Amino acid sequence: MRDVTVRSIEARDRAAWRPLWDAYNAFYGRSGATALPAEITENTWTRFFDVNEPVYALVADEGGGRLIGLVHYLFHPSTTAMTPVCYLQDLFIEESARGRGVGGALIRMVYERACAAGSRRVYWQTHETNKRAMRLYDQVATKSGFLVYRKDL
């Protein structure tokens, strides 16, 4: 992962962040007619810089502001812990940068940020078909065995 820096997102990154965000959403089928409404993208971006929001973003910068990866995470209370837990919500690496350690570096930085915030657990979910990502996840975390159920309202 030579010449790649993992850092907090900055306001100047918006134009470089957006294609990664759009590609992440397209990967999960949220594009075209099923794309996220523009106000959700705007709200997501704004939350990264709102000190009252527990939502954060890190990026992998290949130099000169060329972003090749992103991770979004948030903290929330838990009924089974005294300290907030960290949910790693979005992780995306551009295709040309996959296999170079960028995803692992972004996850490790989330671990560092979670520890610094007093969190004792980081968790995330992925689609069962995302086999390539799961090869990385199996190296950096333990499968909990829990399945996700959801009801859209």
- Tell me the per-residue pLDDT of 80-102, one tens digit each, with 9 for 90 and over: 999 999 999 999 999 999 999 99
pLDDT score of 2 more than 80: no
Instruction: Give domain status of residue 123, yes or no.
Output: yes
Instruction: Give domain status of residue 12, yes or no.
Output: yes
* pLDDT at site 34: 83
Instruction: Give domain status of residue 106, yes or no.
Output: yes
C-alpha distances (whole Å) from 115 to each of 36, 122, 140, 152 are 32, 9, 15, 32
The structural domain count of the chain equals 1
Instruction: Give domain status of residue 15, yes or no.
Output: yes
Instruction: Give domain status of residue 89, yes or no.
Output: yes
Query: Mean per-residue pLDDT for 63-72?
Result: 95
Domain membership of residue 112 as a residue range: 5-140
* pLDDT at site 92: 97
Q: Which of 129, 148, 137, 144 minimizes the C-alpha distance to 71? A: 137
Instruction: Give domain status of residue 145, yes or no.
Output: no
Model pTM greater than 0.75? yes
* pLDDT at site 33: 80
CA distance 104 to 92: 11
CATH code of residue 134: 3.40.630.30
* pLDDT at site 1: 64
Residues 6+ apart with CB under 8 A from 124: 87, 88, 89, 91, 137, 141
Instruction: Give domain status of residue 148, yes or no.
Output: no
